[in-house]
Every structure is written in C-alpha cells, then in structure tokens.
Amino acid sequence: MAMHLLSEHFRNDHSFFRIDARVKLVFALALLAMVLSYKGFFFPLLVLFCSIACCVYIKVPARAFFLRFAEPLFIAAVIVLLKLFFSGNDVLFSISLPTSHFSLITLTGYSDGLKEGLLIACRILGAVSVLTLLGLSTPFTELIAGLAWLRFPKGFIEVLMFAYRYIFLLFEDAMVIYNSQKNRLGYASVKQGLSSFGTLAGSLTLKAFENSQNTALAMTQRGYDGSMPMLKHKPFNPPEVVVSFFLICVMGVLWQI
C-alpha cells in the first residue's frame, strides 16, 4: 500500500495525464517562478488551492497527498516558529517558562517575524503543491524526457533516474528491517526506538552504497558512456500549447495584483 502511495500516478484516464509533459513542465516552472517571487500571501495561497482542487479532480488519495506534504509542512512550521521567536521588532506576546533550576526563561513572539515566517511558509506550500500535482499527473519517464528536452544537465537527469530506480528498493529493504525490529520489540521504548532507527538508517546507507557500486560496475561492463536514450517526443498539440499559454497569462495578471 505504501509503495502505491509513493508511485508516480494513480490513474491514467484523466485529462491531465494525456497532456504533453513538456507543456506541463513549462507551465509548472512558470508557476514556481511566480510563487517564489511573489511578495504577499494571495498568489501562493491561490496556487495551493488550485493544486489541491486539481488533485481532488484526478482523485488522488488523501493519504498520498498528505504523505507528500508531510515534510514540507514540518519545514514550514519550523520556519514559522523560528521567525516568530527569533526575528522581528514588534512584540506580539511574551511568556515565561520555568526551567529545572527554578528559574524562568522568557519567550518573546514578534508580529513582524510571524508575518515573515507565514509568508515563507505560503511560498513553500504553494511551490510544493505545484510539484506534487506535476508528479501525480505525469509518468516519470515522460517527466525525465521533458527535462532532457528543456536541456537540463545530463548529470542531474542521470542521478534523478538512478535515485528513482533504487528508492523503491531501499524502501522495501527499510520495511523489512523495520518489521523485523518491531517484531523483536525494537520500538518498545523511546530509547530502544532511537537505537533501532539508528541501526535502520545505517543499514540503508550501507545498502545504498553497495547498490551504487554494483550499478556503476554493471553499466560500465555494458559499455555505458554517459549518454542515455530518451523518449521520442510527439509533435506539440496546438490546443494544449494555447491553453497553457493562456493560463500562464492569467496567472501572470493575478501575480501582478
């Protein structure tokens, strides 16, 4: 089930799936540039709402969507807290917390720091929502071919392909180790859980290093010279290009607001 939630798409019969990957890539990159350069809250939140609506339209499982948003949400929350308590000049509130030595530590929250943190968080969530929708509606092979068409560095594409190839194998190994540890009460307490997690992380690191060496040796023996054949692109569909250009223009107008 977890492997299915991490897969590249869930349905192949919706309209988004049939759109040329190059068109979706250009549109996504344009939206990313607008989101990251916007100075307020309106546009990133608009993009986030539209992306969520599109994911609902293509019937992405809620668990899969939140799984992909878990880490960005955590990072956004940490940034908001850091900005709230360690950045700014306008005091919003101040609280005193007792410590173990019967002394008090004062935490001061700043309104301008909170605003700045929320602004960064909105940009993060808006950008991640665009990439999430792109990943859920585009097969990985077509996405890689689109990146190659956009002249992304060959080294980046090569690393991306191998990472995608082996991330699922490492995930299966991680589940085997985790279930084995769990059956032996490796997570019965916090201390045991941290120790088991350290063992799991170390085992996966060694496994990844071993896989990288085996893959490099196997490809060298098969005459790999650094070039990878990509998918042949079909001609652009004019209606897709026109609609994409129109939507970019509309989002550009909203970006100016």
What would the DSSP string read from start to end of 29-94? HHHHHHHHH--SSHHHHHHHHHHHHHHHHTT--HHHHHHHHHHHHHHHHHHHHHHHHHS-SSEEEE
Render the burial of 210-226: b for 16+ CB within 10 Å, e for the rest.
Answer: ebeeeeeeeeeeeeeee
Strands 104-110 and 91-98: antiparallel
Report pLDDT for 171. 84
| 10-residue averages of pLDDT along the chain (257 residues) | 50 72 92 93 93 86 82 93 88 78 76 92 94 86 85 82 81 88 86 88 87 82 69 78 92 89
Report pLDDT for 7. 52
Report pLDDT for 2. 47
Q: Which of 161, 174, 171, 173 is nearest to 219 (CA)?
A: 161
Report pLDDT for 3. 47
Phi, psi of 250 (to 5 degrees): -65, -45
Report pLDDT for 67. 82
Report pLDDT for 232. 64
* Residues in contact with 109: Cβ distance below 8 Å, sequence separation at least 6, in sequence order: 84, 85, 91, 92, 93, 94
Three-state DSSP class for 188?
A: coil
Report pLDDT for 32. 94
